[in-house]
Copies of this chain bind each other. A is one copy, B any other.
Amino acid sequence: MAKPERLIYLALGGAGEIGMNMYLYGYGPEGNERFILVDMGVTFPTMESTPGVDLIMADPAYIQARADRLDGIFITHGHEDHVGALGLLWHRLRAPVYARRFTAALAKGKMERSGQPTDAVRQVDAFPHQVHAGPFRVGFLPIAHSIPESSALVIDTPAGRILHTGDFKADPTPLVGEPFDPAALRAIGEHGVKAMACDSTNVFSPHAGRSEMTLIEPLNALMRDAEGLVVATTFASNVARLRTLAEAGRQAGRRVVVLGRAMNTMLKTAHAAEVLEHFPEVLDPLDMDSVPRRDLLVLATGSQGERRAATAQLAQGRYMGLELKPGDTYLFSSRTIPGNEVPVSRILNLLSERGVKVIDDTDGLYHVSGHANRPDLAAIHELVKPQMLIPMHGEHRHLVAHAALAAERGIPAAIAPNGTVVDLTGDAPVLAEHIDTGRLYLDGTQLIGALDGIVRERIRMALRGHVAVNIIIDERGKPMGGSWVELTGLPDNPKMRDGLAGALEAEIDRVLSRAKRNELADDESLDDLIQRAVSRISNDAVGKKPVCKVMISRLEA
């Protein structure tokens, strides 16, 4: 007997965490479903858990093993946590990529920089147009977010309709990009929505979200009243904010300068895709000197404290010939993402030391979030009236709180972190099975597995230091000369005559002189003897047990 068809949801990334979004929908007989993939994003490394890593993304192994059944990749919007991994992982899947115009331009950029074919990315119109992909029909429903053209996906399947919200905020006047449209969502809902997979990021924010429009007056006042140069930083991709800032500057008689590669690229792409109109004319940074400071507004990258961005460089000295002075104003028109507090705070203080007036988002006057708050989530539940809810785009506790919010309206919800296969076929979500998911790291130019141990070794070196030991065994099987120890990142003990290195060499020589013939003949035994000696002496001398690598050279007879 043929297995019955089923409709499933499976997050490979983005559920149980914020970042690296990658969601699968499948339809067909169990074990033989056809799939579509929604978003291929990255998340950013931290010194805490991923030192030296360049980017982090979900491991697509599950869908890679079933790539012949993948009918399309759909990108909801152009943020890095939704499209950043496309160029790096596409060659493992080789399915057509669908996105709207601006997002497609950004996606093609990702493909190009990774040497992948840009024509795999296909530009599509907004809903009611739908792409046919296997058993799925997928439409891009415009929704407001902090980047233009963000879209919810209307996914029609033989088992019913899914609304995948993507990232959104309930903003009727986002200034750039399409507004949040209750009527359109209600219409979708009236058609009948089986399941809604919904953004959970701001479920802990108790008040309804404010509109981008509420920033106009405070920003105008700030630009007008500031006595010197004003620099404003925000996410490069927040094109609406860039325009709000620039327009406030223009009204205050300020010429607008844009500093930072990412921001310039984003504005150019937005212009080309016709999602950005009425942006004031931009002044070339080389001409800044010709304009009085009082008449300048600089838009700069680096709101999250990124080391090489314009903001960090301005805080430390100068960037593109610009140096900040006492009386200048620096506006952070952004929220600090958790984990970035320390670098951002360091920059705020460097600016303060230069006599610059620093304004951040403490009072909420100069920034609004791109995500729906708790009451906004309740509103979309009410508009769409889905049969079931799948909270996504959130840490575990966000998913739990969002499910509880749905329960208030009697909507059943599945708490489904990465790897949880949810069967949506029936009247309520069923947790069907759990598959292994993982993370890949872009480390230099290589993709490595999070569990490969490479980063763990680096963390161990960062905490404990490194000892390299070199010994030579002569033709007769005897240690030749003394051992040689090279320390990296270890404190010394000034009370020891020859220091830690000397003490280690002396102890290793002592151990070798006492070693038995068969121990000296065997690399593994020798390695073990030396490792233990290094650990013991280092711990006694300086209180650390370093990472130790032993290199044994044997002279041939």
Contact = CB atoms under 8 A, between A and B. Distances in A.
A463 B458 CA distance: 7
Interface in A176-231: 204, 206
Contacts of A351: 397
Interface stretch (A56-64, A490-498, A509-517): A490-498
A338 B348 contact: no
A547 interface: yes
Given A339-B341, A343-B48, A549-B488, A349 B395 contact: yes
A502 interface: no
B343 A444 contact: no
**Contact-residue size bin, chain A (C-beta under 8 Å from the other chain):** 35 or more
A446 B493 CA distance: 7
Contact of A458 (B400, B445, B489): B489
A484 B47 contact: no
B486 A461 contact: no
A488 B457 contact: yes
Nearest to A448: B491
A397 B358 CA distance: 8
Interface string A427-464: 00000000000000001111010001011011101111
B457 A459 contact: no
Interface in A395-437: 395-397, 400, 417
A462 B459 contact: yes
8 contacts: A352-B395, A443-B542, A454-B465, A457-B489, A458-B461, A470-B470, A470-B551, A484-B551
Interface of A: 16, 46-49, 51-52, 204, 206, 338-339, 341-343, 345, 348-349, 351-353, 358, 362-363, 395-397, 400, 417, 443-446, 448, 452, 454-455, 457-459, 461-466, 468, 470, 472, 480-481, 484, 486, 488-493, 542-544, 547, 549, 551, 553, 555
